């Protein structure tokens, strides 16, 4: 775990008032999230909630035939384990780390205790839930009505918004799996973006060279999700607060 990674690098945690941070931060456990790690299987109860800082987690729906489709992504904008907040305890999706990095986790019981205070964290989670539902709904619309080229642009932009840099660790096979499309379609779409100078693709790493052009080439779905997220969870970076030792 890099010593520079701190809880406020997750936007939900960073938006908490100072008094709530002082109470919650000592309860957080820093974790390293490796690509492919399964944080929760479909139907399992969440033992922990996770707050990514520089990693991305995919929420996947698994079909009986083994096929998968991504319904949302969670990065430094949110939390994995929304079912605990909603009261269901589990979800029909599987939470899988897409981009490796760092984060923090909080025991489910501790999280529920904080939520039951009906304070700042509870209010933040209400707004985050609405933003996540918007992303899920827009993903369904996009997958039904827009081209693979547009879906790829949307997906790259969603990842960029949840990472600190402009480089993404994503193979074409992984992208195809997340979008629920054929790999050949993603290869063609990525090739077009590279020919236009929008991205550079090398050995499973995508570097976005022209974000403005990428936004232009994307469909309306990205803008809808970003606007709603910014409206519900306006983000203003705060000075870092030193993480106290984990409470017993």
Q: What is the pLDDT of residues 215-239, one digit of tens each?
A: 999 999 999 999 999 999 998 765 5
In this prediction, residue 1 carries a pLDDT of 45
Give me the residue spans of the domains in the chain.
7-125, 147-218
pLDDT score of 243 more than 60: no
Q: What is the pLDDT of residues 50-89, one digit of tens each?
A: 999 999 999 998 888 877 889 999 999 999 999 999 888 8
Q: How far apart are the first and last CA of the chain?
A: 20
The CATH architecture one would assign to domain 147-218 is Orthogonal Bundle (1.10)
Q: What is the pLDDT of residues 160-213, one digit of tens each?
A: 999 888 888 888 888 888 887 888 999 999 999 999 999 999 888 899 999 999
Length of the chain measured in residues: 248
Instruction: Please state the φ and ψ torsions of residue 179, each to the nearest 5 degrees.
Output: -85, -15
Higher pLDDT, 23 or 246: 23
What is the arithmetic mean of pLDDT over 17-41?
A: 95
The CATH fold assigned to 7-125 is: Jelly Rolls (2.60.120)
Contacts of 75 (CB under 8 A, 6+ apart): 52, 55, 56, 57, 99, 159, 161, 162, 163
Using pLDDT thresholds of 50, 70 and 90, give the confidence band for residue 246: low
Q: What is the pLDDT of residues 137-154, one digit of tens each?
A: 999 999 889 999 999 999
């Amino acid at each position: 775990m890099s010593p520079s990674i701190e809880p406020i690098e997750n936007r939900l945690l960073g938006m908490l008032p100072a008094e709530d941070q002082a109470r919650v931060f000592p309860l957080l456990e820093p974790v390293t999230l490796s690509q492919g790690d399964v944080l929760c299987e479909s139907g399992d109860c969440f033992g922990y909630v996770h707050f990514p800082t520089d990693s991305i987690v995919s929420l996947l729906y698994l079909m009986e035939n083994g096929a998968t489709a991504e319904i949302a992504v969670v990065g430094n904008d949110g939390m994995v384990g929304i079912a605990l907040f909603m009261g269901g305890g589990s979800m029909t999706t599987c939470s899988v780390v897409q981009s490796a990095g760092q984060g923090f986790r909080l025991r489910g019981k501790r999280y529920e205790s904080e939520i039951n205070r009906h304070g700042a964290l509870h209010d933040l989670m209400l707004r985050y839930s609405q933003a996540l539902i918007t992303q899920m709904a827009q993903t369904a619309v996009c997958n039904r009505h827009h081209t693979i080229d547009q879906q790829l642009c949307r997906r790259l932009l969603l990842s960029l918004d949840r990472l600190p840099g402009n480089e993404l660790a994503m193979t074409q096979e992984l992208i195809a799996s997340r979008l629920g499309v054929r790999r050949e379609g993603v290869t063609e779409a990525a090739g077009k973006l590279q020919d236009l100078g929008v991205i550079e693709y090398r050995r499973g790493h995508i570097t976005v060279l022209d974000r403005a052009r990428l936004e232009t080439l994307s469909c309306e779905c990205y803008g809808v999700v970003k606007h709603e997220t910014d409206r519900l969870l306006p983000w203003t970076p705060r000075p870092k607060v030193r993480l106290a030792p984990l409470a017993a």
